[in-house]
Structure 1
Amino acid sequence: MFCNRCGTPLEGTENFCKKCGAPVGEYLKAARKAEPTPPPEPPKAQEPERPVEPPKAQEPERPVEPPKAQEPERPVEPPKVQEPERPVEPPKAQEPERPVEPPKVQEPERPVEPPKAPGFDQTWPEDPSSGPSQPPKKKGKKWVIPLVAVLVVAIGVGGFLFWRNMAANQAYQEAVASGSETLAKGDYAGAAALFEQAGEARELESADRLALAQAYLGMGDREKAAQLLREMTLAQEDEQYDLYQRLYALAELSTQVEQVNADNFPVITLTLTCDQPFPLGVDDLTVREGEMDCQVQSVTSEGNQVSITYLTYDAEASEELRQPVLTLSVEGITQQRQADYYTPYFAPAQLRLVSTDVSQYPVVRAYFKVVDQDTGSTVEGLGNNSFRITECVEGGEYLAREVKAVMPLEGNGGLNIDLVADKSDSISPVDMGKIQTVMTQFVQELDFALGDRAEVLAFDSIVQQMCYYTDDVALLVNGINNMSTDGLTAFYDAVYDGVTNATLQGGARCVIAFTDGMDNRSRHTPEELILYANEQQTPVYIVGVGGSVEESTLRRIADSTGGRYWFIDDLYDLEEIFRQIYEEQMDYYIVEYVSDESVDSYATRDLMVNVSGQGYRGDAVMTVTPTRSIRDDGGVEGGHRYELFKESLTWEEASRKCQQMGGHLATITSQAEMDEIIAMAEAQDVKYIWLGGYTSYDDQGNVFGHWVTGEEFTFQAWSENEPSRQDQDGTEEWYIMLWNIQALNGWYWNDQRNDPVSVVPIMADGMGYVCEFE
């Protein structure tokens, strides 16, 4: 007998099932009386059909669980079959051909065995003594067995697959770890085998694929590495993208150097091909020639062409065989490319430093002239790699300096030109007309848009500034036209002042001077002039006119300062000479290099300069002391303004100080300007103020004034009977002063000698000068 609810075997004497508590009906009692023997034990008879071993569910010694007795609606649930967390035992999982025997479990055509029917399929009549009973739901029970079977199979298969994936992952990780260690030791073949083994377990990850490519490259198998990398796709934001590109470039780079360019020797360019972007830089490459390591300067790529530029060592002779070895390195993987070339034939070149500019220190801008040593013609076409500079600052050690840029002056910078003209009495009015015509035409042809600037100085017994440095053509022409013949010849003093003013402008500069006679008034000697011009790095070009010039002295000055000398018969020939000088200056090379920012920019330094290229080679050793210019420390700022200085100086001293500060002695072209300067003077109790003007005689002997800026001399405020052009003792009065004379009851102009305090000492207490800054 069995319980009609849970199928538990019954002894026949119970009123209630010991396991589930279900009542035993009267018909069961009658049946027990009629049955002389107990039914066979159902668990053992039906054991092969059940998916999970039922013995534990039918153990008679187990006490009835009280909680389960309170769940009348639940069918018999084999606990161990329905626990999802328990996978099929590993031994059975390793025998895939016998996981669970589903045929016997899922056979729907087999009739229900009689012992099983009371517990699962039969409906028993109600027991009138025990009240109505809830029979099991027939329709809800039929899908339990197939479902349980499917779940068992799914769990088994899933467990098996899970176990197999775990095993594959473990094998992958072990192979990858071993491969990485082997790769780090430089055993590329062993590393490749291990990464390939990992790939057999499952697909390689990106980082491991790159490691395998690295191993292939280390083995020298570029084709396998390229194929492996070709199959990858990485986004630029991927952290592995840079390594991917570098390895790919190494795999795709041509095995041979396609071309060697030695035109700019000792700068050499090697060209290779690469069908992929080439991200390798200077730090990834080395070049060696023989026993010498060469300096790699740049790596550039355009299309599929990769150009590697390096600096080699000088050759002892032309057409010398060189065999460079290029080594490329990526993550410890090195590859080499070999080439050969012959050094070119070298013609000797002459190299000369013209001037320097330290206004952008520590960047030094040096102006070099490079010419054919035999013909004197300019060497053209030199570039960034043509110059090498080694510098020793104030007795330190020689250090190679970085050359930032090399460019011709023409098209890349302006020229500061000081035009010095002779206007002494020996110049006839006709010749003065020729001079003015030629000079006017020359300044009109300057390239002011590119940065050219000019100054006009004229000399007779003194040096006069007809027009201070400017790019205003109108002012220059007006200054030229204000020249008139007078006095003696102070040629050396005029050139000396021209060197000073040109040097203050910085950059490329020169002095162009002409004279028709011997110097008979200067304070400076030719030797002083030569020394000073060389110190200031300013070349002097001189043109001699007429038979009374000291040609040997003038030629020596020009040649010693880096300029040239011409002798002409006709002043109209000045036009061609001016043009030649300008073109020669435009052939200068601007070389920018980086010096030592920890030392003073004006410190003396020794330079060793080597130049090569375009079939030329030359070198020079020179000592340089950079000069101060008004552009240093940012130049003059603040716009147009006046600044008054209460100090007793000569006119020449005051003028020099204003120019050194980047300005000039003030000019007055209106009453408003005069009133502004007077107010400044009265505020500081200054009575005598130097202005930036001169007086001269015209061809008819009349006295007239002009400003140092070349401005029109239309507004005038002379004292009565001034300008006199001579002091009471007969000394020439060339300079304009603004003074306050009580007897005249106001401020007026007067022409004065250069040093009035020497004869009127009381003036020293009220002396001053006003600088004007444009």
Structure 2
Amino acid sequence: MMRMRNVLSCVIIGSLLIGCGQTISDEEDISETIESTTEAQDTEGNEVAEESVGEYPTEWGQAYLDYINNTEVGSDDSNREETLNSWDYTLIYLDDDDIPELMIDTNMEAGGELIATYYDGEVVDYVLSRIGTKYIPETGLLYTDTGHMDYYPVYISKLENGQFTQIAEGVYYLSDEERERLANVDESWEDSVNYTYEWEGQEVTKEEFNSNIASYIDIDLLERPDDYYQLGEIRAMLQTGKWSSYGHRYELVKENVSWQQAFDEAQAKGGYLATITCNEELEVVQELIEKENMTDNSFYVAFRKGEWDGDKFLSARWVLPSGDNVNTYSSYDYEYRNDPDYDSSFKETEWDVYDGKAGLLMYGSSGLYLYYAPDDLAESVPKYKDHVGYVIEYDE
């Protein structure tokens, strides 16, 4: 989880409520409703104390908000909000002061990344031409090595006193001669390719190239941000110091329902099918499921995979109570826990997850995962009958 000094107050306070609900099972059954809230409470017995976060928005937080809202998004400014929604956002501590830097990943190689720092009352940004830049926390050092098509430029930059400076550069690439040689090699050539290395415009050996890098930066200490947020989440954090659903209450309902029934019933109960849009919110739901020993159950949430609605294609999204959609592009952790190609902890299913359209929370070997599931799991896969439910979210 990303460390944020006095930026976020992350408190999980759980209260439990067992109740009875309607069941659609053929046999008489009791549907369970379990409740939890993220709202901080100052009552005796709480084990987690809320950290003071000060007044929000902070001066730097407001400056970052203005920067996001006014940053250039390309030639077609009419789609500004859509473009901003397609980017990922996070806060990192690149230099050693108490104000974090804002990092933006455009999710497109051609779009690159942006890093902004707040210094002496102003936001100063730095444009990175590719995505995938790493950094060493609190040193100001950035390392970019994200080329493609057999051409890999390396840039080392540093943030110091509010200014970004490129301090070294090199490149390694496949020469035309080497490309021609490899074209005549019958066997696989990945291990025998000979790249040409240049440092500061001068050809060097591979060993000299790596030695030059090491003289500026220890690549073993490099990190990528470990938590990204969607546009709505980063705006909430900059404005309030908390994620957008902080203080919301959750219920687990165990009932043999379809995704649409869960969506409708959640609203009938005065809430809505949960929209889990950041890792902090996921942790609240995961803690509740674990606390109630319900890890062998599966719970629908308001996520839908990309699908056709008549002649209109709807991309992967969270479906709001109004029926409106919020597209999800973000790479926050659990969004990538829905595919066995991404994570070996993925739990094997009795259906093809690539065909499923409904968002379903299930436990794999390492925690809570978002799966693509059939719209009526209990009906489609009898094994899951009486082990299905849904998560209700309340704004209160």
TM-score of the two chains, using structure 2 as the length reference:
0.28
Higher helix residue share: 1
Q: TM-score, normalised by structure 1?
A: 0.17
